[in-house]
Structure 1
Amino acid sequence: MPLSMIKTRLAKLRARDRRFRIFGSSHHKYKSIPDSTDDLERMERLFALVLPSDYQRFLFEMGHGTGPYYGVLSLFGTESEIRECFDPYFQEEAEALANLSLSSPFPVFPIANGEKIERNQNIITNSESLRFVAEFPCNGSIPICHHGSHKYTVIITTGRFKGSVWDMALDFSGSLWWSAKRPPGIVRHGYKGVELPNLSPIPTFFEWYIGWLDQCDADLADSTTS
Structure 2
Amino acid sequence: MADRRDDLSARLARVASKLTAAASSPGEPVMFGAESHRFRIGPALSQDAVVVFERRHGVRLPADYRGFITTVGHGGPGRFGGAGPFYGLFSIDDWEWALLGDPDVTMLAKPFPAEPDRVYDDWLAEAAPGEDDEPYRGTLALSHQGCGDLSLLVLTGRARGRVVETCPGRQGPRFTEHPDFLSWYERWLDAVLAGERHFR
Q: Tell me how large the CA RMSD over aligned residues is.
A: 2.9
User: Structure 2 length normalisation: TM-score?
Assistant: 0.72
Q: Which has the higher contact order (CA 8 A, sep 6+)?
A: 2
| Match for residue 67 of structure 1 among 84, 91, 99 | 84
2:181 corresponds in structure 1 to 205
Q: Is contact 1:40-1:75 (8 Å) kept?
A: no
1:139 corresponds in structure 2 to 137
TM-superposition CA deviations, 1:186-223 (whole Å, max 9, x none): xxxxxxxxxxxxxx3x5311111111112112235x9x
Structure 1 segment 105-184 matched on structure 2, within 5 A: 105-109=111-115, 116-117=117-118, 122=120, 134=127, 138-169=136-167, 176-180=172-176
Q: 1:155 to 1:21 in 2, by over 3 A?
A: same
Alignment partners' CA distance in 2, 1:150 and 1:12? 30
Deviation at 1:104, TM superposition (A): 2.4
- What is the number of equivalent residue pairs in this alignment? 173
> 2:27 aligns to what SS in structure 1?
coil
2:51 corresponds in structure 1 to 41
| Percent of matched pairs sharing the same residue | 27
Matched, 1:76 2:90: no
Alignment partners' CA distance in 1, 2:139 and 2:94? 14
The runs of 5 or more residues in structure 2 that have no matched partner are 1-9, 75-81, 129-133
Q: Is contact 2:98-2:136 (8 Å) kept?
A: no
Q: 1:77 to 1:104 in 2, by over 3 A?
A: closer
Deviation at 1:5, TM superposition (A): 1.4
Alignment partners' CA distance in 2, 1:155 and 1:69? 15
Which protein has the larger Cα radius of gyration, Structure 1 or Structure 2? 1
User: Structure 1 length normalisation: TM-score?
Assistant: 0.65
Letter in 2 for 1:26: E
Letter in 1 for 2:180: T
2:108 corresponds in structure 1 to 102
Letter in 2 for 1:12: A
Letter in 1 for 2:30: R
Q: Is contact 2:114-2:173 (8 Å) kept?
A: no
Deviation at 1:20, TM superposition (A): 2.1
